[in-house]
Amino acid sequence: MHLRFVSWNVNGLRACMEKGFPETFATMNADFFCLQETKLQPEQIALDLPGYRQYWCSAEKKGYSGTAIFAKHEPLSVTYGVGTEELDHEGRMITLEYPGFYLVTCYTPNAQDGLKRLDFRLKWDEAFRNRLCDLAMVKPVIACGDLNVAHQEIDLKNPGPNRGNAGFSDEERQSFTTLLQAGFTDTFRWLNPDKTGAYSWWSYRFNARKNNAGWRIDYFLVSDSLQPQIQAADIHSEVFGSDHCPVRLELNMEV
């Protein structure tokens, strides 16, 4: 069996609906379509997606953050949040359990200008890593989302000037390394170890997208045990509608 997963930070789903989301959703025909930064409560949108079950995790603060998963397959269980009270007010994580794996979507907090939210961000990273490791002790994990970090210099256009900035601080990069070392594979980089110019987010300023001055901060991670099942891991930079583009993973496995 072949399973297709898509992840997209839509930077406001209502706005993205006007910029081609329904067409992109239909074209990609994913088994699982994960969203970050939905910026809404479920009752604020009427989304008709025949054949899909909808799972929403919204921030308590209106118009902020939020995640969703649209799934063709009914899960055994659904969990919202990372499981730490102080971190779970912003709608940042959903976990679906299936017989063969856990699927997690995550919208990692941004460390913000001057790294003023770095402490909160690193607390999130630790809780997220612990949660994934706990799940992985039960069955393999597929985790996706906007993880708000460019891991290596190859993962952004201008590493030099950005070193120490949010998303490319030494602390965030090390935290991501620690996550991978805990038993997870960055699927895109595993298949494309030397590919340059592959980005998933571009600033709206300075014609960044036109000039492909971007960052790769949207990921699909899998438990290392799933490496043999990875069929494809792609970045759909041709898709517009947000300052991020969708990323896709194909696995040869059963639900």
Q: Which residues contact 165 (CB under 8 A, 6 or more apart)?
A: none
- Beta strands 102-107 and 77-80 are unpaired
Is 146 catalytic? The answer is yes
CA distance linking residue 144 with residue 30, whole number of Å: 14
Question: 98, 107, 199, 219: which one is catalytic?
Answer: 107
From the list 146, 155, 186, 218, the catalytic residue is 146
Distance CA 4, CA 235 (A): 13
For residue 57, give the 3-state DSSP assignment.
Answer: strand
Q: Quote the DSSP letter at residue 191.
A: H
CA 121 to chain CA centroid, nearest Å: 15
The per-type count for the chain, helices as H runs and strands as E runs, is: 6, 14
List, as one string, the DSSP characters of 77-145.
EEEES-S-GGGTTS--EEEEE-SS-EEEEEEPPP--GGGTTHHHHHHHHHHHHHHHHHHHTTS-EEEEE
Q: What is the set of active-site residues?
A: 107, 146
